[in-house]
Amino acid sequence: MTILPEVQSYYGRLKLYINGSWIDSKSSYTQLVMNPAKDEVIAEAPFATMDEVNEAVKAAAEAFEKWRETPITTRVQYIYRLKQRMEEHFEEISRITTQNHGKIIDEARGESRRLIENIETACAIAYTLAKGEHIDQVASGIDETLVREPLGVFTVIGPFNFPALAPFWFIPQALVLGCTLVVKPSEITPLPMMWCFKVLDELELPPGIVNLVYGSREVSEALIKHPDVQGVAFVGSTPTGKYVYKLAGEYGKRAIIQAGAKNYIVVMPDADLNKAIPALLTSFFGNTGQRCLSGSNLVAIGGVYESLKRKFVEAASKLKLGYGLDESVEMGPIVSINAKNRVINYIEKGVSEGAKLILDGRNAYVPEYPKGYFIGPTVFDDVTPDMIIARDEIFGPVANIIRADNLDEAIEMINTKTSYGNAACIFTSSGREAREFRRRVKCGNIGINVGIAAPMAFFPFGGWRESFFGVLHGQIDCVDFFTDKKIVIARW
């Protein structure tokens, strides 16, 4: 067993980044930051005081006036350099993500690559979608022009499960469009974003353009309510997302809320199981099931049920658990002890509801890391769509096998048995059934013969129903989110 060297440069008490400087918080209230594979404290994140939150917003507001006047070509040069620096620090950011979150190193590297793709897309936005519009001679002697103008200061509130990537659905786009930011990462996994700010600091951006604070609900509320903050981009659970959306509306702020999920994956009788099984394993157990695009309910149509169940369970039972810095490991720990206990509680609910537990991961044990927050792949059979385990977002490596007679029945489940609408996937050899599925299913991200329907950075990140609140989505939709349109009607 070979373990990659850990990145420990910034272990210890984390610093805030305000107005271009790393500062020691005056707060006495901190969150311990853990390595979940080891149950080891690796850092502590001080929750910013209200004075520090106000300082961060003030710095961003003052910086905005000059940043908006900075030529877009100059802003783009900063983002180009950001891409270069991220490439240089690619492995460090990936490893610190594994150390803080628990995901295996290949998954962390994938997260870092997607982060960089968002930076690349932001550069393209500057010279394409950020353009205005013009019509000459809309009336006799009159021309009409549409220009986009940056709105000001925004806050980005990140999740624990993609601590580096998710905030970068918004950060590079906001900067290239002329806005300034105060970023608050998850207090559970703040280290990857702190490392990203280390890279941002290397760019020598004008002070105040980007700011970093830590905290929980109180800090988030203060940022959203602040009169100089124009809007909030949030990624997290649906209950918290609903609250953030309501609060933003109450204070007249723009909001993008990417929330929770309960994703169905349908396997048709004509599916190629040799290709489907590896994709299903990644969907249900990749990132230890802790992502909003993970599979949760596996719907077997008709005669595929027995062979699908047998092959899926057999493959899942062979996944190797361990520390994600071991490149032979296929699944890491749950992010925290509280999250682990929550998943175990749901497994026990499934048993009490009468579902058949055919693969039990509750007693997973990794000898080299006996204190790690490990749960092995878990599979329920005889699940009905009305059970709690089939309706609630569990956010762990738990798969529920549900039987259906035909595609119509499966689509009915997806559309009526869950309030979420983040993603749904189908495995089939039939173009007709694939088309029927993608047209009728009420979800924002659809996968056809793929297990994870993850949009590229140059597409919006979909989400319907209670998986999303707002009008504009993350990634490419940020052009309209961070700017407003000014119409100029001129006669000379």
210 pLDDT above the threshold of 90: yes
Q: Which pLDDT score is estimated for 98?
A: 98
Q: Per residue in 260-292, pLDDT tens?
A: 999 999 999 999 999 999 999 999 999 999 999
Q: How far apart are CA 83 and CA 203, in angstroms?
A: 10
Q: Which pLDDT score is estimated for 364?
A: 95
Q: Which pLDDT score is estimated for 127?
A: 84
438 and 482 share one domain? no
Tell me what the mean pLDDT of segment 427-449 comes to: 94
Tell me what the mean pLDDT of segment 85-96 comes to: 97
Mean pLDDT score of the chain: 95
296 and 392 share one domain? yes
Q: CA triplet 290, 33, 219: central angle to 5 degrees?
A: 85
Q: Which pLDDT score is estimated for 467?
A: 82
Percent residues over pLDDT 90 in the chain: 87
How many CB atoms are located within 10 Å of the residue 460 CB? 17
Q: Which pLDDT score is estimated for 454?
A: 85
Domain span at 435: 263-456
Q: Which pLDDT score is estimated for 125?
A: 87
Which one from 123, 196, 292, 425 is the annotated catalytic residue?
292
Q: Which pLDDT score is estimated for 390?
A: 97
Q: Is 292 a catalytic residue?
A: yes
- Could you tell me the pLDDT band of residue 62, with boundaries at 50, 70 and 90? very high
233 inside domain: yes
Q: What is the largest CA-CA distance in the chain?
A: 81
What CATH number is given to the structural domain containing 273?
3.40.309.10
Q: How far apart are CA 24 and CA 321, in angstroms?
A: 38
410 and 433 share one domain? yes
Q: Per residue in 133-172, pLDDT tens?
A: 888 988 888 999 999 999 999 999 999 999 999 999 999 9
Q: How many domains does the chain have?
A: 2
Q: Which pLDDT score is estimated for 394?
A: 96
Q: What is the pTM (predicted TM-score) of this model?
A: 0.93
The residue with greater pLDDT, 374 or 472, is 374
* Phi and psi, residue 309, nearest 5°: -60, -45
241 and 347 share one domain? no
* Helix ranges (DSSP H) in 89-170: 90-101, 105-126
Q: Which pLDDT score is estimated for 311?
A: 98
Q: Yes or no: say if 279 and 430 are a contact pair by the CB < 8 Å rule.
A: no
Q: Which pLDDT score is estimated for 466?
A: 78
State how beta strands 40-46 and 254-258 pair. Answer: unpaired
Q: Yes or no: say if 167 and 76 are a contact pair by the CB < 8 Å rule.
A: no
204 inside domain: yes
Tell me what the mean pLDDT of segment 89-102 comes to: 97
221 and 270 share one domain? no
341 pLDDT above the threshold of 80: yes
122 inside domain: yes
H/E stretch holding 246 reads helix 238-250
119 and 154 share one domain? yes
Q: Which pLDDT score is estimated for 56?
A: 98
What CATH number is given to the structural domain containing 76?
3.40.605.10
472 pLDDT above the threshold of 80: no
475 pLDDT above the threshold of 80: no
101 inside domain: yes
H/E stretch holding 436 reads helix 431-440
275 and 132 share one domain? no
Q: How far apart are CA 424 and CA 158, in angstroms?
A: 24
* Phi and psi, residue 311, nearest 5°: -70, -40
209 and 313 share one domain? no
Q: Per residue in 357-412, pLDDT tens?
A: 999 999 999 999 999 999 999 999 999 999 999 999 999 999 999 999 999 999 99
Tell me what the mean pLDDT of segment 442-468 comes to: 86
Q: How far apart are CA 32 and CA 44, in angstroms?
A: 4
Q: How far apart are CA 376 and CA 285, in angstroms?
A: 9
287 and 362 share one domain? yes
468 pLDDT above the threshold of 90: no
36 pLDDT above the threshold of 90: yes
483 and 393 share one domain? no
Q: Which pLDDT score is estimated for 474?
A: 72
The residue with greater pLDDT, 229 or 455, is 229
Tell me what the mean pLDDT of segment 182-192 comes to: 97
Q: Which pLDDT score is estimated for 63?
A: 98
191 inside domain: yes
462 inside domain: no
223 and 267 share one domain? no
Q: Which residues make Cβ contacts (< 8 Å) with residue 191, sequence separation at least 6?
A: 10, 14, 33, 42, 43, 96, 97, 99, 100, 163
Q: Which pLDDT score is estimated for 215?
A: 96
233 and 359 share one domain? no
471 inside domain: yes
C-alpha closest to that of 372 among 334, 317, 341: 334
360 inside domain: yes
421 pLDDT above the threshold of 90: no
Q: Yes or no: say if 293 and 454 are a contact pair by the CB < 8 Å rule.
A: yes
233 pLDDT above the threshold of 80: yes
Q: Which pLDDT score is estimated for 132?
A: 84
Q: Which residues make Cβ contacts (< 8 Å) with residue 181, sequence separation at least 6?
A: 60, 153, 154, 155, 156, 170, 171, 174, 175, 209, 210, 211
